[in-house]
Amino acid sequence: MASLWVVVAAALLVLGCASSGATARPLVGAAAAKQPLQTSRPYNIAHRGSNGELPEETAAAYMRAVDEGADFIEADIVATKDGHLVCFHDVTLDDTTDVADHKEFAARRRTLQVQWANVTGYFITDFTLAELKTLRVKQRWSFRDKSHDGTRTLIPLLFW
């Protein structure tokens, strides 16, 4: 019986390899023209809002991105110490808020291992939503417009 299966398998292999003219052939003419992967215009996705001129992850940055034609807003979400969700990109508050100016939070600066690297700063997970609301956001990079620094807060996500 085992030899019958070997014969059948061999026959199927031979039949499968034999061409009956139905093999794939190269496309010619118009069919050979390259087709784009996407036929509509590319999506405009605003990462952290319009963060070039307004502090990132703020309502103003999101609204500006929409005004500028963004199809989607890509927001980063982080949980606070008391379980609230806020729109924030980093694990620390140092680069984009005035946390270092708040003496009441000075003892919270610490070093943790994040993705196999030691990171020192004020970690957002060490703050409650009420505490975060006392902070003001600022531009991350010195070459960006600083006129909006200190005028906005982080965005809490409200769920009902």
So which residues are the catalytic ones?
A: 47, 89
146 secondary structure, DSSP code: -
The helix or strand, by DSSP H or E, that contains position 85, with its residue range, turns out to be strand 85-87
Handedness of CA 11, 17, 19, 23 (dihedral sign): positive
Strand partners for 113: 118
Structure tokens at 35: 């087709």
Evaluate whether 76 touches 46 at the Cβ level (below 8 Å).
no
As a whole number of angstroms, the distance between CA 2 and CA 85 comes to: 64
Q: How many residues does the chain have?
A: 160
The single-letter DSSP state of residue 92 is B
